[in-house]
Amino acid sequence: MVSRHIKQLVGYAVGKGLIQPCDTPWAINRILEVMRLDEYEDVELTDEPQRLEKILKALIDNAASRGLLDGDSIVQRDLFDTKLMGAITPPPSQVISKFRSDYAISPKTATDNYYRFSGDTDYIRRYRISKDLKWVTHTQYGDLDITVNLSKPEKDPKAIAAAKKAPQSAYPKCALCRENEGYAGRLNAAARQNHRIIPLTVDGTRWFLQYSPYSYYNEHCIVFNGEHTPMKIDRSVFVKLVDFVSQFPHYFIGSNADLPIVGGSILSHEHFQGGNYDFAMAKAPIEKEFSFPGFDNVCAGILRWPMSVIRLSCEDIDPIVELADRILTCWRGYTDANAMIYAMTDGEPHNTITPIARKRDGRYELDLVLRSNLTTPEHPDGLYHPHAALHHIKKENIGLIEVMGLAVLPSRLKTEMAAVAQGILSNADLRSDPLTASHADWVEEFLPRYPHVTEEHIDDLLHHEIGVVFHRVLEDAGVYKCTEQGRRDFMQFLKTVK
């Protein structure tokens, strides 16, 4: 049977264009090497082509039964199946050559084919991503995207313990470094034998393009600096973002902020995230236009969005970059005690920006989201961070993706919401169950609005209310609230930009 599964995997690779038919004997031998087998029997495949997930599972099961895995955890299985896929993934030079020839046709042709390739090599595990829970919640600010992330596997306790005991390594320096391409991985670092990256020149410097293995939205890409250098929001970031959308006008691109609490999960390596997707924030209209002296050719205004966003639009690069830099410089040093805005306390800077760039109707757009990581005794996790009452749904940092209107929620919610639904339907005491206790106050707050709850509608009800919580999360993260006073304070800041 193992020969059958090897032939199926090679057939899959040929069918997806990862290898050519003439590569078949070579590919079989590569897989035999990974499987530590010396012999192969050519078999007739009479059944329908099998799904990649099923083929890999059969090969991993065989390897595990022969003791090739150090335990049968999800971590070990992922290390092994990536090694298998690496055996049939083309070398970087071939992938780069294909991308460049496709780019000569059009940037979209290049990214379309590269994105498909990243899924075909199983670097993007499509069968896991398809398990994510996704829905849309309608709000006054537009349609917010909600996803419960199930594609990133939960490590079991044994795997976590083993990773802690594993020798520490400084290679690669982080999960983004270019040295990850082709890396075999270890217990505390993902295998990347099937990972291929595309070199780019951004603002005259060496960068690389890849896709996120978790693909939170369509063509979720990561663009990272060729050097392991920390995140820093400055004028050069605006130049790089605009340069990227000049090269890939069908993509947006944005950067996480560069301070803890309001930044992303990796602050040690400069990178951006982008893709081919219109978030709710991108669709949000200008609520109040504003003009900056000396920038008559730049359209500007406050966005109708729960977070504090300035949108700039211009046909030319230099004016929009210059104005963005002036806004950033002013915001870095801005203090308004009455509005709870402090540039610095005890020597710690608080103000930064989450910038997003796109091209729309031939014009460059920059969305500048004002951020502050100020903490207070009442809100030790951050004044402009999800407040404690919302942590039962979302307590992680509000990064670039959430800022734009997509909630990436933890996998625990799948189990917890099933228990909450059952508890509501059976009129159970939610506080007595560890799975539902943290959600009890929330349920008591919204349930009176639904006098007749049925099993048929309970999931839709919970989905809507989770979306409402995310709406409140974004409002918490906004430094200027969507109130008359908040707008006056926002305008007061804009008037200081020179």
170: pLDDT confidence band, cut at 50, 70 and 90? confident
3-state helix, strand, coil in the chain (%, to 5): 40, 20, 40
pLDDT of 160 higher than 60: no
- What proportion of the chain, given as a percentage, has pLDDT over 70? 97
pTM over 0.85: yes
The predicted model gives 263-279 an average pLDDT of 92
Q: Which pLDDT tens digit goes with each residue over 35-85?
A: 999 999 999 887 778 899 999 999 999 999 999 998 889 999 999 999 999
Helix, strand, or coil here: 263?
A: strand
The predicted model gives 185-189 an average pLDDT of 91
DSSP H helices in 333-483: 400-403, 412-425, 440-446, 458-477
Distance CA 313, CA 450 (A): 44
pLDDT in the model for residue 48? 77
Helix, strand, or coil here: 248?
A: coil
The HSE-up count of residue 449 (CA atoms within 13 Å, CB side) is 9
> What is the enclosing helix (H) or strand (E) of 407?
strand 406-409
Distance CA 189, CA 460 (A): 38
Q: How many CB atoms lie within 10 A of CB 6?
A: 28
Here the contacts of 455-460 (C-beta below 8 Å, separation 24 or greater) are 455/425, 458/421, 458/424, 458/425, 459/421
pLDDT in the model for residue 252? 98
Distance CA 176, CA 300 (A): 34
Residue 471, phi-psi category: left (phi > 0), alpha (psi -120 to 50), beta (remainder): alpha
Q: Which of 449, 455, 447 is nearest to 422 (CA)?
A: 455
Q: What is the mean pLDDT of the chain?
A: 95
Task: Label residues 253-291 b or e (16+ Cβ within 10 Å = b).
Answer: bbbbbbbebbbbebbebbbbbbbbbebbbbebebeeebe
The predicted model gives 476-497 an average pLDDT of 97
- Helix/strand/coil (H, E, C) string of 12-49? HHHHCCCCCHHHHHHHHHHHHHHHCCCCCCCCCCCCCC
Distance CA 439, CA 15 (A): 48
pLDDT in the model for residue 478? 97
pLDDT of 183 higher than 50: yes
Q: Are strands 142-148 and 406-409 parallel, antiparallel or unpaired?
A: parallel
Residue 356 sits at φ, ψ, to 5 deg, of -135, 135
422: pLDDT confidence band, cut at 50, 70 and 90? very high
Q: Are strands 271-275 and 299-303 parallel, antiparallel or unpaired?
A: unpaired
Q: Which pLDDT tens digit goes with each residue over 209-267?
A: 999 999 999 999 999 999 999 999 999 999 999 999 999 999 999 999 999 999 877 88
